[in-house]
Amino acid sequence: MSLFVTTTASITVDRNAVVAPINRRIFGSFVEHLGRCVYDGIYEPGHPTANEDGFRLDVVDLVKELGSTTIRYPGGNFVSGFKWEDSVGPRDQRPVRRDLAWHSLETNQVGVDEFARWCKLTGSELMMAVNLGTRGIEAALDLLEYSNHPSGTALSDQRIANGSPEPHNIRMWCLGNEMDGPWQTGYRTAEDYGTLAARTAQAMKAADKDLELVACGSSGSAMPTFGDWERTVLEKSYEHVDYISAHAYYQERGGDLGTFLASSLDMQYFIETVVSTADHVKNKLRSSKTIKISFDEWNIWYLDEHQASDEVNDEWRIAPRQLEDVYSVADAVVLGNLMITLLKNHDRVASASLAQLVNVIAPIMTEPGGAAWRQTTFFPFSVTSRLAQGDVLRPRIDVGTYETAKFGAAPLVDAVATADSESGASAVFLVNRSLTESIEVTIHVGDLGASSIQEAVTLHDEDVYAKNTIDDQERVGLKQLEGATLEEGTLTVTLPPVSWSALSLA
Ligand code: AHR
């Protein structure tokens, strides 16, 4: 139950309050061999839009429209049992394996080379994870040689023979996945993992000193080892790695929409804790280097429900329907707010991946032989990726609060701004977390030198639980944010309750 203290807010955008220039990697995504993300998702050879590799081009178009940049691959929990060698070479000779992480069969029909080609098709950058669950340094080095070495070595020549003459030139590598989680195949203590991550990173950088390496941080801020895990892992690996990862999933629990709408407060706490821990290690080690965060899994996920709804049973199946959450307007508003939080912390969160991309807790859904469509969460992601250009600016927000069960008082409005000196374009992204009240927001943008509103859109619906489904694929979409005005440096907008909005100015 929320208590409202105000229905107006004031925001001031200062052109000098720069958080960081935008690194497009903040708009990354994630493709895991899980459920129907790859098979019957991005890949479906029999589909009318499929290309010669079997990739659906209708999905490629939606991925481009979504504006996702780096794509983390091939997992997730899946990577901790992955033998990359199974996934290359003639397709008819690739083995079928059991994937223990998701209790399904992996046919290996899509592997390293095909996925690199798919990334090119979508204009995205491949971010690769290595298996530090069942494997280790040697397999990581082999995959690196296969992927990145130009030619003249056993594995680079194998790649060339397999039809990829050019190296994939993968710059960013994850050293395992969620190694703090007891569910992870081969999970470890922080001491063991930190040592392994350091040795793997040192070896990989001996091959290419410019690689960007991500050590596993915590799987969530509620993990019992949160904080201590990061400290220990970084104490062991600090000089060898560049990023520490963070993963966070949110969901509405027990009908408490007010708390759910304030989920980004947890993400903020998560980021601040990791930053202070990483900086503590930096100081302790007298290092001159600053570790950044790769927030390489974040999203809304109805985790409590997935066991019940998934096609999981004792059979080993290929691409069962798993984690196919259907998202509501409220979910999309929270997702838009999480993006605002990532941007506001972009000085330290250098890279992020929405988990995941297609069918599995995803903004894009597909049916075999049929349509591909946008979930509600597609909209805030695609608009933010398109409009956020130049520098991220941290605005000053004066607004009342409402009471939440989990976070106590939470601000009713959250916002971030961006400005691009080259094009002169700027943008403001806002959420109204109030369950019932429209909020009139006065935004002082005089500093941006803007004279017109180019675009003003909102994601809002009378029914906060409205969704796009297979039967009603366009039930929810962006609407015009009516009544927005810009006069003499003052932008005035009225944000509907439970809404995410974006305005671009010129
Ligand atoms: O994104 C789904 C799963 O969530 C990933 O495989 C894992 O890393 C996380 O627990």
CA of 34 from ligand 1 middle (Å) equals 9
Q: What confidence tens digit (pLDDT) does each residue in 75-110 have?
A: 999 999 999 999 999 999 999 999 999 999 999 999
Q: How far is the CA of 76 from the centre of ligand 1 (A)?
A: 5
Residue having the nearest C-alpha atom to atom 8 of ligand 1: 76
Clarify whether 178 is annotated catalytic: yes
Q: Is 299 in the pocket of ligand 1 (CB under 6 A)?
A: no
* Beta carbon of 297 within 6 Å of any ligand 1 atom: yes
What average pLDDT does the chain have?
A: 96
Bridge partners for 442 per DSSP: 10, 492
Calculate how far, in angstroms, residue 501's C-alpha sits from the geometric centre of ligand 1. Answer: 29
Residue-level pLDDT at 333: 98
Whether the bond between 356 and the residue before it is cis, its omega within 30 degrees of 0, is: yes
Q: Which two structure tokens, joined as six digits, stand for 174? A: 């994850």
Query: Does residue 176 line the site of ligand 1, with CB under 6 A?
Result: no
Cα R_g (the chain), whole angstroms: 22
User: Nearest-5° angle of CA 364, CA 255, CA 362?
Assistant: 10
Residue range(s) in the chain whose domain bears CATH number 2.60.40.1180? 5-15+393-505
d(CA 504, CA 506): 7
- Say yes or no: CB of residue 32 within 6 Å of ligand 1: yes
Helix (H) / strand (E) containing 297: strand 292-300
Quickly list DSSP for 156-197: HHHHHHTT--S-----EEEESS-TT-TTSTT---HHHHHHHH
**For 364-410, what is each residue's pLDDT tens digit?**
999 999 999 999 999 999 999 999 999 999 999 999 999 999 999 99
Class of domain 5-15+393-505: mainly beta
CATH 3.20.20.80 placement within the chain: 23-387
Q: pLDDT tens across 159-170, in order?
A: 999 999 999 999
What CATH topology corresponds to 23-387?
TIM Barrel (3.20.20)
Per the CB < 8 A criterion, the answer to whether 350 and 293 are in contact is yes
Per-residue pLDDT band at 313 (split at 50, 70, 90): low
What pLDDT band is residue 5 in, cutting at 50, 70 and 90? very low
